[in-house]
A and B are shown apart, each in its own frame.
Chain A
Amino acid sequence: MTDQLNVNMSNEDIKKKSTKKRSQYLEVWRRLKQNKSAMVGLLIIIILILSAILAPFIAPYGIDDQDLLNTLQTPSKDHWMGTDNFGRDIFSRIVYGSIISLQVGFISVGIAMIVGGSLGAIAGYYGGKLDNLIMRMMDILLAIPSILLAISIVAALGHGLKNVMIAVGISSIPSYARIVRASVLTLKDQEFVEAARAVGTNNTRIILKHIIPNSMAPIIVQATLGVAGAILSAAGLSFIGLGIQLPTPEWGAMLSSGRQFIRDYPHMTAFPGLAIMITIFGLNLLGDGLRDALDPRLKN
Chain B
Amino acid sequence: MSEEKKLLEIKNLNIHYITHEGTVKAVNDMSLELKKGETLGLVGETGAGKTTTALGVMQLIQTPPGKILSGEIIYDGEDLLKKSQTELRKIRGNKISMIFQDPMTSLNPVLTVGEQIAEVIKLHQNVDNSQATEKSEKMLETVGIPKSRSKDYPHQFSGGMKQRVVIAIALACNPKLLIADEPTTALDVTIQAQVMNLMNKLKDEFNTSMIMITHDLGIVAEVCDKVAIMYAGHVVEYTNTKNLFTNPKHPYTIGLFNSIPNIKDDEARLKPIKGLMPDPTNLPLGCPFHPRCPKAMSICSQQEPCRTEIYKDHFVNCFLYENVDNKS
Residues of A within 8 A of B (CB): 1-3, 5-10, 13-14, 16-18, 20, 30
Contact = CB atoms under 8 A, between A and B. Distances in A.
A2 B58 contact: yes
Interface string B1-29: 00000000000000001011100100000
Interface in B91-107: 92-93, 98, 100, 105-107
Q: Is the interface of A mostly helix, strand, loop or mixed?
A: helix
Contacts of A30: 20
A273 B50 CA distance: 58
B184 interface: no
Contacts of A6: 55, 60, 62
Contacts of B60: 2-3, 6
A1 B21 contact: no
A168 B46 CA distance: 51
B303 interface: no
Contacts of B100: 2, 5, 9
Contact of B21 (A9, A13, A20): A20
A14 B106 CA distance: 20
Q: Is the interface of B mostly helix, strand, loop or mixed?
A: loop
Given A6-B55, A18-B20, 11 more contacts: A1-B106, A1-B116, A2-B93, A3-B60, A5-B105, A5-B106, A6-B60, A8-B105, A13-B52, A17-B47, A30-B20
Given A2-B98, A13-B52, A16-B46, A7 B24 contact: no
A256 to B, nearest CB: 49
7 closest A-B pairs (Cβ-Cβ)?
A10-B62, A6-B60, A18-B21, A17-B24, A20-B21, A17-B280, A5-B100
A14 B93 contact: no
A14 B17 CA distance: 8
Interface of B: 17, 19-21, 24, 46-47, 51-52, 55, 58, 60-62, 65-66, 92-93, 98, 100, 105-108, 116, 169, 280-281
Nearest to A12: B51
Nearest to B52: A13
A22 to B, nearest CB: 9
Contacts of B66: 10
Contacts of B280: 17
Given A17-B24, A20-B21, A30-B20, A10 B106 contact: no
Contacts of B93: 2
A30 B58 CA distance: 33
A1 B93 CA distance: 10
Nearest to B97: A2
A9 B51 CA distance: 9
A13 B280 CA distance: 11
Contacts of B116: 1
A7 B64 CA distance: 11
Tell me which of A3, A8, A10 has the highest count of chain B C-beta atoms within 10 A of its own C-beta.
A10
A18 B24 CA distance: 10
A296 to B, nearest CB: 12
Contact of A18 (B19, B47, B106): B19
Contacts of A17: 17, 19, 21, 24, 47, 280-281
B287 to A, nearest CB: 21
Nearest to A20: B21
A13 B51 contact: yes
22 contacts: A1-B106, A1-B169, A2-B60, A2-B92, A3-B60, A5-B106, A6-B60, A8-B105, A9-B51, A10-B55, A10-B62, A10-B65, A10-B66, A13-B52, A14-B65, A17-B17, A17-B19, A17-B21, A17-B47, A17-B280, A18-B19, A20-B21
Contacts of B108: 1
B47 A16 contact: yes
B293 to A, nearest CB: 23
A105 B17 CA distance: 43
A111 to B, nearest CB: 39
A21 to B, nearest CB: 11
A17 B277 CA distance: 12
A192 B61 CA distance: 34
Contacts of A16: 46-47
Contacts of A20: 21
B106 A13 contact: no
A10 B66 CA distance: 9
A14 B63 CA distance: 12
Contacts of A18: 19-21
Contacts of A5: 100, 105-106
Nearest to A31: B20
A5 B97 CA distance: 14
Contacts of B61: 10
Nearest to B98: A2
Contacts of A3: 60
A10 B55 CA distance: 10
Contacts of B51: 9, 13
A8 B105 CA distance: 10
B89 to A, nearest CB: 10
Nearest to B26: A13
A20 B19 CA distance: 12
Tell me which of A2, A16, A18 has the highest count of chain B C-beta atoms within 10 A of its own C-beta.
A2
